[in-house]
Chains A and B, each alone.
Chain A
Amino acid sequence: MLSGLMNFLRACFRPRSDRYVHTGSDAGGRQDGLLWYKDTGQHFNGEFSMAVVQANNLLEDQSQIESGCLSTQDSGPYGTFVGIYDGHGGPETSRYINNHLFQHLKRFTLEQQSMSVEVIRKAFQATEEGFLSLVTKQWPMKPQIAAVGSCCLVGVICNGTLYIANLGDSRAVLGRLVKATGEVLSIQLSAEHNAAIESVRQELHSLHPDDPQIVVLKHNVWRVKGLIQISRSIGDVYLKKAEFNREPLYSKFRLREPFRRPILSSEPSISVHQLQPQDQFIIFASDGLWEHLSNQEAVDIVQNHPHSGSARRLVKAALQEAAKKREMRYSDLKKIDRGVRRHFHDDITVIIVFLDSNLVSRASTVKSPNLSVKGGGINLPPNTLAPCTTPTEAGTS
C-alpha cells in the first residue's frame, strides 16, 4: 500500500520538463526551435514518423504512439496504438488524455480478452469521466478548467484490423496503392465533428430542436452556441454539465439560459477497416495540418519521398502554405515565437504509420517489445522571438 502511495506521489511530482530534453539521441525525438520530431521508428506493423510544431504559448496538441502489448498483461493482444489530442482553451485536457486513455484501453482489452469497438468506446468514456472528476476537484480553485477541452483521434492496428475512433476535427487518411495505375490514393478514414460541416449542424439541430441558436454563424465561422467550432470533445464540461456553467467561470463562456441536456457530446465515431496489402500508410494529424494541405497533397508528399522524416516534411509543407496565406516568407514565419505564432498557424501534429503487409498480417499473439513515444514541445519562459531556429528545421526535402 505504501509503495502504491509512493508511486502515486512520484507520478505527481515528476518534472514535466523531462520529456523535452531529448537533444542527445533520436531515441525520444529531437527539438529544433518550436519543432519537435522523430524522423523514424519501428512499431508493431512497420515504420513510423512523427513531428509536432508548436504555435500556442503552451502546446495544446498532445500525441502518442504505443506499440507492443495492448493490454495490461503481457498475454496480449499485440499491435499499434496512435493518439492525436488537439486541445483548446489550454493544454490540461489533451495532457490528461495523453496520460490516461491508453491505460484505460489496456485495462478494458484485458477485461474483454481482445481488441474491439467496445473496448475503445469504454476507454473514451472512462477518460471523459476521469477528466470530469478532475474538473470537479479543481473547480473551486481553478474554475477555468471547466472551459478546457480536447479533440481525440485514435487509431488501433491489431490482428490486421484498423480501428479509427474520433471526437472533434483531427483526421486520419489512408494511402492506398492502386495496382493498375501505380497511383497511391488518399482515403479519409474519419469524419470531423465541426460545425462548418452541414451534416454536423443538422445533427445539432435534431438533438436540440427547441434551440434555434444551437449553431451560430459569426464572421463566416459556424460555432456551437457561438462559442466552439466542434460538436464533440473530451472535457469542455461547461457545455456538458449546467452546474459548471456559472460563476466564477468567465462570463464569455456562460450561457444565458440554463441547459438541460449536454450541448457537446463525448461519444466517439468509431469505424473498423480490414487492412489490405495495398494499404501503404496512414497519416494521423490535427486540423493544423489539414487546414493547409488536402488529403491527396499529403498522401503524395509521403508517397514520393523516403519514409524517414516524412512527418516533418508534411509539417514543413503546411508551414510553407501558412506563410503563403499570410503573405510572408517561410523563413520569417519560423522566427516568430510561440504564443504570437498562433496568429500565423495552429499547433500541428503529424504521425505517419507505415504498414508493412508482412507485419500487418502477423498474428496479434506474436510478442514484441513495448515502445512508447509522446510528441514533445518546449518548456521555456515566454520570450520574444523563437529561441533557436537552425536552417535544418523541417528538413531539406
Chain B
Amino acid sequence: MVLLPVISCTTKAYSKFKQIKSDVDADSCTTTKVDKGHFVVYTADRRRFVIPLVYLNNDIFRELLKMSEDEYGLPSDGPIRLPCDAVFVEYAISLKQRHAAKDLEKSLVLSVTTGRCLSSSYLQPGQTNQQLLICSF
C-alpha cells in the first residue's frame, strides 16, 4: 500500500519536532511566555503544545478545534483543550511538517470524526502511526 513509505519516515519527522514545543505538566506552564506567531493547545492527557499560527489553516487542526467545541464547548476562561491525546497531536503535526498528501490528511480527519483512534489506548508509541493508518482506512 502507498502508506508504507509514509510510515517509514515518521522517526525523521519526530526529530524535526523540536520546533514545536510540548510540555508534560500543564499546570506548571501557564505563565510561560509564548513565542511570537504561536498558539497553545492542551491535550486530554494534559500535554501542552505551542504550535505555529499557520497550523490553524490545516484541516486536521481545524477538525480538532471543532471536536473540542463539540466536546467541551467554547471555553471563556482558559486555554484550548483538544479531546485527544498528545500522541495524536504529535502525529498530526508530523503529517503537516512533512507536507503529507491531502488524501492522507483527509483520512486522518475521517478517523477523527468517526470518533476512534483518539486515545492513547489506541495509539501506543512504536506502532502508533501504523495502527492509526490501518484503522483510518
Contact = CB atoms under 8 A, between A and B. Distances in A.
Contacts of B68: 343
Contacts of B57: 384-385
Interface stretch (A33-41, A302-310, A331-339, A363-371): A331-339
B12 interface: no
Contacts of A326: 39-40, 79-80
A346 B74 contact: yes
Interface string B23-67: 000000010101011111000000000000100110000100100
A336 B68 CA distance: 18
A219 B53 contact: no
B109 to A, nearest CB: 15
A67 B76 CA distance: 34
A332 B73 contact: no
B5 interface: no
A342 interface: yes
B53 A332 contact: yes
A117 interface: no
Contact of A327 (B40, B56, B73): B40
B136 to A, nearest CB: 24
Contact of B74 (A218, A342, A385): A342
A329 interface: yes
Contacts of B73: 218-219, 221
Given A331-B36, A332-B36, A291 B76 contact: yes
Interface of A: 218-219, 221, 291-292, 325-329, 331-332, 335-337, 340, 342-344, 346, 384-385
Given A291-B77, A326-B80, 11 more contacts: A292-B76, A326-B40, A327-B30, A327-B32, A327-B39, A327-B40, A328-B34, A332-B36, A332-B53, A342-B74, A344-B39
Q: Which 8 A-B pairs have the closest CB atoms?
A: A291-B76, A327-B40, A384-B57, A328-B39, A219-B72, A343-B65, A340-B56, A328-B34
28 contacts: A291-B76, A292-B76, A325-B76, A325-B77, A325-B78, A325-B79, A326-B39, A326-B40, A326-B79, A326-B80, A327-B39, A327-B40, A328-B40, A329-B34, A329-B36, A331-B36, A332-B37, A332-B38, A332-B39, A332-B53, A335-B53, A336-B39, A336-B53, A343-B65, A343-B80, A344-B39, A346-B74, A346-B76
